[in-house]
């Protein structure tokens, strides 16, 4: 049995597990790619805005914070299958490029800054991502 079959099964199992554990969702904010074609847009005087990409299912875990530093820290477990499904439509080749382009994470009406993204791998295939975000 090749490791590719096991890795594909693990990706599906991770998505099923996260669906069973929690059906939360988060929105990732990406820079909008559409720009105004007039002179102001070409000079960069127009704010292009952001594009919201909703990711679901995810599991949210609140992390402890100290007296100094951010008010709130969360860890978001995101299935790799959901991210890989979004990549072609958004014009990204890899999940690393996608997460590097993210401006922020919206959860329960609060805006968070992504502090780190750690992929969990098996046989060279990511099956989910642990995203740590701070408010």
Q: What is the DSSP letter of 94?
A: S
Under 8 Å between Cβ of 35 and 43: no
Examine the pLDDT at 1 and tell me if it is beyond 50: no
* Residue 23 to residue 56: CA distance in whole angstroms: 7
Q: What is the pLDDT of residue 133?
A: 96
- Looking at every residue in the chain, the average pLDDT score rounds to 86
Across 113-135, b (16+ Cβ under 10 Å) vs e yields: ebeebebeeeeebbbbbebbbbe
Number of domain units in the chain: 1
Contact 118, 108 (CB under 8 A): no
Domain that holds residue 110: 3-134
Question: What's the pLDDT tens digit per position in 29-62?
Answer: 998 876 556 676 667 667 778 899 999 999 999 9
pLDDT of residue 40: 65
Is a pLDDT exceeding 50 seen at residue 98? yes
In this prediction the pTM is 0.80
């Amino acid at each position: 049995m090749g490791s590719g079959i096991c890795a594909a099964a693990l990706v599906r199992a991770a998505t099923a597990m996260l669906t069973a554990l929690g059906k939360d969702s988060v929105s990732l904010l990406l820079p909008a790619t559409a720009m105004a074609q007039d002179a102001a847009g070409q000079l960069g005087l127009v704010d292009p805005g952001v594009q919201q990409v909703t990711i679901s299912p995810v599991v949210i875990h609140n992390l402890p914070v100290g007296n100094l530093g951010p008010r709130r820290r969360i860890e978001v477990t995101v299935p790799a299958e959901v991210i890989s499904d979004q990549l072609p439509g958004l014009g990204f080749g890899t999940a690393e490029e996608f997460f590097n382009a993210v401006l922020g994470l919206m959860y329960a009406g609060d805006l968070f800054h992504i502090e780190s993204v750690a992929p969990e791998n098996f046989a060279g295939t990511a099956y989910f991502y642990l995203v740590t975000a701070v408010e």
